[in-house]
Amino acid sequence: MQNIGERLKEARKKQGVSIREAAETTKIRADFLVAFENNSMDIDLPEVYVRGFLINYAKFLNLDHAQILTDYDALQIGRGKAEKKDHREFLGRMDLPANRDNVASRPAAPATTRSDKPGSDTSSAPDKALYYKVALFVGGARLFIIINVLLVFLISSSEKPGLNPELQDSPAVASDANTGVAALDPEDISLIAVDDVTITVTQVIDNKRLFTGTLTKGQTQSLTKTGPIRIGYSAGENLIVEKNGQRFKMGKSSVGSSTLD
């Protein structure tokens, strides 16, 4: 059975389209398309953008984008299980010293007994090999944590909020007369898909993720927000946000983000 990359490459070649032509039409970088066709989904982008690019590329090639997305999810789940298995096997390779099995059967030496041989020591020396393995494991765990923190920072910084000239001015927020702190009231908004679009919505005041997912053409998602939100999307021209009876367009860029008060 063909994997995702093989199906994408075969469909593109049947249509006689080059990678460069596909990149220009879909507005997706050529190196990302090459990675997809090599069945390598580990590109340096937030998950919401990877899914959006896959949908747009599959639609460009007239493939079943819903099936492509389903196979992609199955691939990610399979990789997650493989990583967990490798991690368990790594822990299982920490062997105990061979001489520990015979410790219980050896008679205990009297506390006052000393060897007459020069340089001899009756105290049990720590097993250096065991300590080296423990140190290697602890070091690897710390490195894993550091790498994950860096990845979270890079993903967060890639979704930079920008002012959208098509958004209308938002009403001023009232402030408390005693504390001077802005009093923010919850508001209901609706995300309306003009066509298929992958979206992530983050509440700015507490960095809370309100929604992440893909909306199909004509689908609406209702949300309740407090204060400004940052909206990331895979195809801005396919998304409209409705607030207080007014509708806001996200622009014409294929991939981007906008801030809405």
What digits encode the pLDDT tens for the residues 18-47? 999 999 999 999 999 999 999 988 888 899
d(CA 50, CA 68): 12
- Mean residue pLDDT of the chain comes to 76
Q: What is the pLDDT of residue 133?
A: 77
Give pairs for 124-132: CB < 8 Å, separation 24+: 127/97, 129/97, 130/94, 130/96, 130/97
Q: Among positive and negative, which fits the CA dihedral 88, 94, 96, 98?
A: positive
pLDDT confidence band for 258 (50 / 70 / 90): confident
Per CATH, 4-80 and 186-260 having the same topology is answered: no
Q: What is the pLDDT of residue 174?
A: 43
The CATH number that domain 4-80 falls under is: 1.10.260.40
- Which helix (DSSP H) or strand (DSSP E) does residue 249 occupy? strand 246-249
Q: What is the pLDDT of residue 9?
A: 95
Order of all β-strands in the sheet with 246-249: 220-226, 186-193, 239-243, 246-249
- Taking residues 192-209, what's their average pLDDT? 91
- Which helix (DSSP H) or strand (DSSP E) does residue 56 occupy? helix 47-60
Q: What is the pLDDT of residue 155?
A: 52
Residue 159 has pLDDT above 70, yes or no: no
What digits encode the pLDDT tens for the residues 69-108? 999 998 888 776 556 555 454 445 544 444 444 444 455 5
The CATH number that domain 186-260 falls under is: 2.60.40
Query: Hey, where are the domains in the chain?
Result: 4-80, 186-260
Give pairs for 86-94: CB < 8 Å, separation 24+: 90/137, 91/137, 94/130, 94/133, 94/134, 94/137
> In this structure, are residues 236 and 200 in contact, taking their beta carbons and an 8 Å threshold?
no
pTM: 0.40
Residue 165 has pLDDT above 60, yes or no: no
d(CA 203, CA 224): 10
> In this structure, are residues 261 and 189 in contact, taking their beta carbons and an 8 Å threshold?
no
